[in-house]
Structure 1
Amino acid sequence: MLVEQSKEGDRNAQYQLYKLYVDAMFNIAMRLVTIREDAEDVVQESFVEAFKKLGSFRYESSFGAWLKRIVINRSINHLKAKRLLFSSMENEQEPVEEENIEEVHELELEKIKIGLSRLPEGYKQIITLYLLEGYDHIEIGEILGISTSTSKSQYHRAKKKLIQIVNAL
């Protein structure tokens, strides 16, 4: 009933679904991304995505299972983005004291934001769709009107360029 009302745009029903599932989804995200703020972001982005795509929910599973899959995919994409950027800088970093890790994360994230802003528009689109929005290469191809292989090759070029920019900062 709540899902149907939410599909029709009923904000109260959406809020009720949110309240019903937010704690469980946060726990899932927390287990995967381990940083509270990141988990909160993943959960919020997941609910936004779920409500936007609610029309595609086909009752093949429970709403909770469908939402859980979105949270897991968002969490994995979040970790991929972090891993991509931190692993590229790993060789150039000196050892970090435990209490400075959060500072280093903030600095690196700022470098990543700057790097993204300096990417050519096409590269920025591919990186954003793949790493931040969680689309796969087939979906990106459909969105941008390019082939799946073009999406993959552009993504790898974009990733390489982003790493170069970030390492130069």
Structure 2
Amino acid sequence: MQQLKYFQHYPDNLQAQIASLIKEHKLQNYFKNKYPCGHQLQNQQVLYQYCTDIKQRFLKNTPRLNNVSFTKHTDMMKGTLGTHTHKQHRHGQKLKARYDIALNNQLKYAPEAILRALIVHELAHFKHAEHDKAFYKLCCNMEPDYHQLELDLRLFIVLDELALNFYKLS
């Protein structure tokens, strides 16, 4: 089953549960029960404010977030789900920094909790470049259910791949 490639580092028993969920066509019901509706952050200004609020709550001493947007990527897993960029440039005697977050356009049609997990992930990169223990500790500090939401994000990718993403209709 090709979709299990997203779960290779998970324990065998969890992979078996995921395979069963997919094979028995219960993935869509899982999402309908757990996340009945998609997020309402379709406007770039609302999305920016949402991210800024999370950043201000947990990362007060980091530079200002300049831009957050949905961008077109060809495929959620072949491309990327989200990116963070940090650019520095000189402006006279001052060193200016710019922090941007770009989220995969397909995440416009996702549950709010899934989108929040990805935003938390990208914001954590403001403090930690690598996916190390400190990085995941910060993610869990910002979102206590981070690891479950990361798993659900991977399941969402499968849902979208199988053309079962019912959030696009709402």
TM over 0.5: no
Name the structure with the higher helix share.
Answer: 1
**TM-score, scaled relative to structure 2:** 0.30
Between 1 and 2, higher relative CO (CA 8 Å, sep ≥ 6) is seen in 2
Name the structure with the higher strand share.
Answer: 2
- Greater C-alpha Rg: 1
